[in-house]
Structure 1
Amino acid sequence: MSIRDIIEGKKEWRAHVARVKALPRDYQIVYKEIQKYLFKVGPVELTEGTGLLSGIVDLFEEGAAVGKGVLEVTGRDVAAFCDDLIKDSKTYADIYQEAVARESNKAIKKATDKTK
């Protein structure tokens, strides 16, 4: 990654944050909770640009423009809303589970090889 890419990425992120700050307060609060949730359990590609997060801001801007409350847009269960957004994406939890399974299989194979 070049310095130019880093600078461009920062510019994009600042523009994204400015869009979030322009949302009504209730939308900002829910957006920040969604962002925290997705950073903890979300897809691996979430950190690559602002694609998913920008899509959420787009959705929120549209909802706010027509006068909907944020929970009318997301539904009352915001975590379920997030889970639905990432249901087909590989998450950090998936990677961790695969690593645990791989290590467990290695240990079992090693143990069975010793008993032969």
Structure 2
Amino acid sequence: MGIHDIIEGKKQWRAHMARVKALPPDYQIVYKEMQKYLFKIGPIDLLGGSLLPGILDFFEEGVAAGKGVLELIGDDVAAFCDDLVKDSRTYADIYQESISGKHDTAEK
């Protein structure tokens, strides 16, 4: 990754966050909580993928339709996030596989 890629990535992230700040306050709160949760569970393609921009697009459509954020995602933000990444590999999966591999070789 070169310096140009880093600069371009920062520009994209700032533009993304500017879109988040343009959302109504309740949407911003839920988006930031979702972002924190997703960073904790760590889907591998979170930063380079389309997950966060997709959520933002979904929220912008909800705002345009005049819906509240909880009408879109329900009351359980974590469950909504889990459904989004249920088929994605996470860093926790990789860690568990590495532990399992070490454990299996230790038994042999």
Post-superposition CA distance 1:48-80 (Å, at most 9, x none)? 25x210000000000011111100111111111
For structure 1, the residue ranges without an aligned partner over 5 or more in a row are 110-116
TM-score by length of 2: 0.96
What is the aligned partner in structure 1 of residue 75 from structure 2? 76
Higher helix proportion (structure 1 or 2): 1
In structure 1, distance between residues paired with 2:91 and 2:67: 33
For structure 2, the residue ranges without an aligned partner over 5 or more in a row are none
Report the CA distance between 1:93 and its aligned residue: 1.4
The one-letter amino acid of 1:27's match is Y
TM-score by length of 1: 0.90
Conserved 8 A contact 1:42-1:86: no
Q: How much is the aligned-residue C-alpha RMSD, in angstroms?
A: 0.9
In structure 1, distance between residues paired with 2:100 and 2:91: 14
What is the aligned partner in structure 2 of residue 57 from structure 1? 56
Matches within 5 A, 1:92-103: 92-103=91-102
Give me the identity figure in percent.
71
Look at both structures and tell me which one has the larger radius of gyration over its CA atoms: 1
Structure 1 runs, 4 residues or longer, greater than 2 Å off? none
Post-superposition CA distance 1:85-114 (Å, at most 9, x none)? 0011001111111011011001111xxxxx
Matches within 5 A, 1:105-116: 105-109=104-108
The one-letter amino acid of 2:57's match is D
Post-superposition CA distance 1:23-48 (Å, at most 9, x none)? 00000000000000000003111122
Report the CA distance between 1:21 and its aligned residue: 0.1
Number of matched residues? Answer: 108
Matches within 5 A, 1:1-116: 1-48=1-48, 51-109=50-108
The one-letter amino acid of 1:4's match is H
